[in-house]
């Protein structure tokens, strides 16, 4: 009797682990397609939601005739992005000649981005760089070990959505809204907005990115995907300080290029879905500008 139940439980768990592996394998490959980790790419887009909504990967590929990988995660901070670059280069390092990194006045601000952004990396925890990152960032040993053993638990709703988009080859910005400027003006007046700050630890990690790309002879394009003018003018001195720091880095590193699309687009409010994200129209305008500038950089 005991042997029979033991056998049944063993078969049951074997079936569970097999299904867990098959489902996770399917989702994993879709996610690799979505982020461009499945094939060598000459251009790598690294960022958070600004890149996701602000740049059209397909339009870039069609115009530049290079493979473009779009590795962007909602809420990804500087530490996340350093890990993302290492991860991608470990997968397809020899192919990458140019990295496009979205930047703004909040680029070393410690607050305002997702504190749980690390969870988006769990599907890739078999990669050594991601694994070391998650050992530090995971909230508990139990969380980390559970993800290690139950592979489907690594995938959040956003991961699943990204995987399906990868299989469908769908990368477009589908936001067609326009910001309510009157409502946002009141938020600025009520001091209800994220403040610019300068986190020394994040600045050090950002400089690690600059040094990594310089040492690997990879061109690094820092692109200011526009944020709404009202936000940019809320703290003028801090905004100017952040812009000056970016320009210092451009001067110091010969492989770094700064493309500021914010300066003359920040007041075109019909291009914004919200204060910091472009809509479909804004996406197309910024992508066309980037394509034209990249043609000059590659020449």
**Per-residue pLDDT for 115 more than 90?**
no
Among residues 261, 263, 259, the alpha carbon closest in space to that of 286 is found at: 261
**Per-residue pLDDT for 35 more than 60?**
yes
Task: Tell me if 53 is assigned to some domain.
Answer: yes
Angle, CA of 175, 179 and 184, to the nearest 5°: 145
Distances (CA, A) of 211 to 77, 102, 249, 255, 298: 18, 17, 11, 10, 21
Domain count across the chain: 1
pLDDT-derived band at 7 (thresholds 50, 70, 90) equals confident
More confident residue, 3 or 287: 287
Do 44 and 99 meet the contact criterion of CB atoms below 8 Å apart?
yes
Sequence-distant (6+) residues with CB within 8 A of 245 are 198
Task: Tell me if 93 is assigned to some domain.
Answer: yes
**Per-residue pLDDT for 172 more than 80?**
no
Task: Tell me if 18 is assigned to some domain.
Answer: no
Of the listed ranges 1-5, 104-108, 123-127, 285-289, the least confidently predicted one is: 1-5
More confident residue, 92 or 255: 255
Task: Tell me if 21 is assigned to some domain.
Answer: no
pLDDT tens for each residue of 216-230: 999 999 999 999 999
What pLDDT is attached to residue 91? 86
**Per-residue pLDDT for 298 more than 90?**
no
What pLDDT is attached to residue 1? 63
More confident residue, 222 or 171: 222
Interval 274-289 mean pLDDT: 93
What pLDDT is attached to residue 133? 92
Task: Tell me if 29 is assigned to some domain.
Answer: no
User: Which structural domain range is residue 86 located in?
Assistant: 38-298
CATH code of 172's domain: 3.40.50.1110
What pLDDT is attached to residue 258? 97
**Per-residue pLDDT for 299 more than 70?**
no
**Per-residue pLDDT for 284 more than 60?**
yes
Instruction: Note if the pTM is more than 0.85.
Output: yes
Task: Tell me if 57 is assigned to some domain.
Answer: yes
Residue 235 has a CB neighbour count (10 Å cut-off) of: 16
- In angstroms, the CA 265 to CA 228 distance is 8
What pLDDT is attached to residue 92? 80
What pLDDT is attached to residue 180? 85
What pLDDT is attached to residue 2? 62
Task: Tell me if 33 is assigned to some domain.
Answer: no
Task: Tell me if 166 is assigned to some domain.
Answer: yes
More confident residue, 175 or 129: 129
């Amino acid at each position: 009797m005991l042997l029979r139940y033991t056998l049944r439980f063993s078969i049951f768990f074997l079936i569970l682990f097999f299904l867990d592996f098959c489902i996770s394998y399917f989702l994993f490959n879709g996610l690799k397609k979505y982020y461009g980790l499945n094939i060598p790419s000459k251009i790598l887009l690294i960022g958070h939601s600004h890149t996701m909504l602000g740049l059209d990967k397909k339009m870039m590929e069609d115009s530049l005739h290079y493979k473009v990988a779009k590795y962007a995660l909602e809420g990804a901070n500087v530490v996340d992005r350093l890990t993302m670059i290492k991860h991608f280069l470990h997968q397809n390092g020899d192919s990458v000649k140019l990295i496009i990194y979205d930047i703004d006045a909040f680029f070393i601000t410690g607050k305002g981005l997702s504190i749980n952004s690390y969870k988006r990396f769990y599907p890739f925890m078999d990669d050594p760089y991601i694994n070391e990152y998650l050992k530090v960032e995971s909230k508990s040993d139990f969380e980390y070990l559970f993800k290690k053993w139950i592979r489907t638990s690594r995938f959040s709703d956003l991961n699943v959505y990204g995987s399906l988009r990868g299989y469908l080859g769908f990368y477009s910005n589908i936001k067609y809204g326009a910001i309510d400027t009157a409502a946002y003006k009141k938020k600025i007046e009520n001091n209800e907005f994220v403040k610019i700050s300068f986190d020394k630890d994040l600045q050090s990690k950002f400089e690690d990115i600059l040094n990594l790309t310089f040492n690997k002879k990879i061109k690094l394009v820092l692109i200011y995907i526009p944020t709404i003018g009202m936000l940019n003018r809320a703290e003028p001195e801090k905004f100017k300080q952040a812009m000056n720091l970016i320009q210092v880095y451009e001067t110091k590193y010969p492989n770094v290029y700064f493309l500021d699309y914010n300066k003359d687009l920040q007041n075109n409010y019909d291009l914004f879905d919200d204060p910091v994200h472009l809509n479909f129209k804004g996406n197309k305008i910024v992508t066309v500008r980037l394509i034209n500038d990249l043609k000059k950089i590659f020449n």
